[in-house]
Amino acid sequence: MSVLDAVPLTVDVPLQRDDFGAIRVGKSRVLVELVIRAFQNGQTPEAIVESYDTLNLADIYAVIGYYLRHPDAINRYLAERADAAVATRQKIEASQPARPNLREVLLKRAKATENSSAETSQ
């Protein structure tokens, strides 16, 4: 009996869908799209693990391996998530009042607070 006879020769992909439909990696809250985008941008699995301390290296390799075997499915999921993000952003922006001069208002407020702080400290 060889050592490998006692070890499964398949690898479980550590992905699970949360209650909101997002896919998370391993037992972490890290979204699969963050891992895949990092990989697509040239990060190594080791660098990805360094970026997210709740991930482990074996999970990242398994997820990347799954992505390399099933790029169409993962890319469709990524596109769905991007579309949902755009829809959410549009919904939020539509519910906000128009503020064309918001930057100026905030800068003016910050300056007033700064001046008030300086006067109090003198």
pLDDT digit string, tens, across residues 38-92:
999 999 999 999 999 999 999 999 999 999 999 999 999 999 999 999 999 999 9
Q: What is the dihedral of CA 58, 69, 33, 15, to 10 degrees?
A: -50
Alpha carbons 115 and 95: distance in angstroms, whole number: 33
Chain mean pLDDT for the chain: 92
Q: How many domains does the chain have?
A: 1
CATH number of residue 56's parent domain: 1.10.10.10
Q: Give the position of tokens 């006692």.
A: 6
Burial grade of 81 (CB within 10 A; 0-12, 13-18, 19 or more): middle
Instruction: Identify the domain containing residue 57 by its residue range.
Output: 3-121
pTM over 0.75: no
For the chain, counts of helices (H) and of strands (E): 5, 2
14 three-state secondary structure: coil
Split at pLDDT 50, 70, 90, the class of 114 is: confident
